[in-house]
Amino acid sequence: MYDDTCRFLAEHFSADFASWLLGEPITLTEIQPSELSLDPIRADALILLESAESVLHLEFQTLPKDDIPFRMLDYRVRMYRKDPTKPMRQVVLYLKQTTSERVYQTNFSIECTHHEFEVIRIWEQPASMFLQYPGLIPFAVLGQSADAEETLRQAAQRLDQLSDPTTKANLMAASGILAGLKLDDEIVNRIVRRDIMQESSVYRSIFAEGEQKKQREIATNLLRAGLDINLIASSTGLSIEEVQQLQQQINTSQN
């Protein structure tokens, strides 16, 4: 849910991310991960944005994972294969404060290979900076401030002033979702207007996707228990083809 929200923000407000990270409000277009390799590529928390001059690679992470440094090298090499002339800036953005030392790791090294990338710990960034750009406002509550609840209140007030109702709804929904990483639901629901959130396309799509994921997990468990495919399809709302695909995935993992 948090990864999807961050991807949405980076895709639809790329100029705001460029202003923050590149120092100029250039519009960036998205590179589909499939363009970088014929091999499968894990893209849940990844977004690649390209201008005529450079590429911005963002990795949003709630908490650190062991494979992040290698993934940064992997994507850099893939991009070099696509266009060896274009520079690439790589940034891992950690959303939730942690004491793990991994959030300070900015390189990957094996034998004679050494690769470096940038890391931004959102909780160390001034919340006031995020409030300057509409597309970054949802991150403000996760930033450095004396009072996260008050920061969320300021963010909601700024968003309420936006004239475009679709933009307002989407950013309000993103703010409410990301605020859940730091504040109790009761506080978030009191500050962020639920009626506007529910009008948001990003809110609906993220929660619809979550529901589909839940149904696929149920179907997978039922397949492992040996239930009939037709019965599973009717019970979960998935199509027979979707259930059959899950069965193939189970069979592949067992081989």
Angle at 184 between CA 178 and CA 190, to 5 degrees: 90
Relative to beta strand 55-61, strand 46-50 is: antiparallel
Residues 155/138, Cβ–Cβ less than 8 Å: yes
Query: Which residues, 6 or more positions from 76, have their beta carbon under 8 angstroms from its beta carbon?
Result: 57, 88, 90, 115, 117
| pTM for this predicted structure | 0.79
Residue 125 has pLDDT above 50, yes or no: yes
147 and 194 co-located in one domain? yes
Which domain covers residue 100, as residue numbers? Answer: 2-124
CA distance 58 to 126: 19
Residue 204: inside a domain: no
CA distance 152 to 139: 9
Residue 14 has pLDDT above 50, yes or no: yes
Q: Which of 96, 124, 152 is a domain's end point?
A: 124
Q: Which of 173, 199, 225 is a domain's end point?
A: 199
pLDDT of residue 38: 46
19 and 108 co-located in one domain? yes
The number of domains in the chain is: 3
133 and 113 co-located in one domain? no
pLDDT tens digits, one per residue of 163-209: 998 899 999 999 999 999 999 989 998 998 777 766 676 666 666 66
Residue 62: inside a domain: yes
CA distance 95 to 2: 9
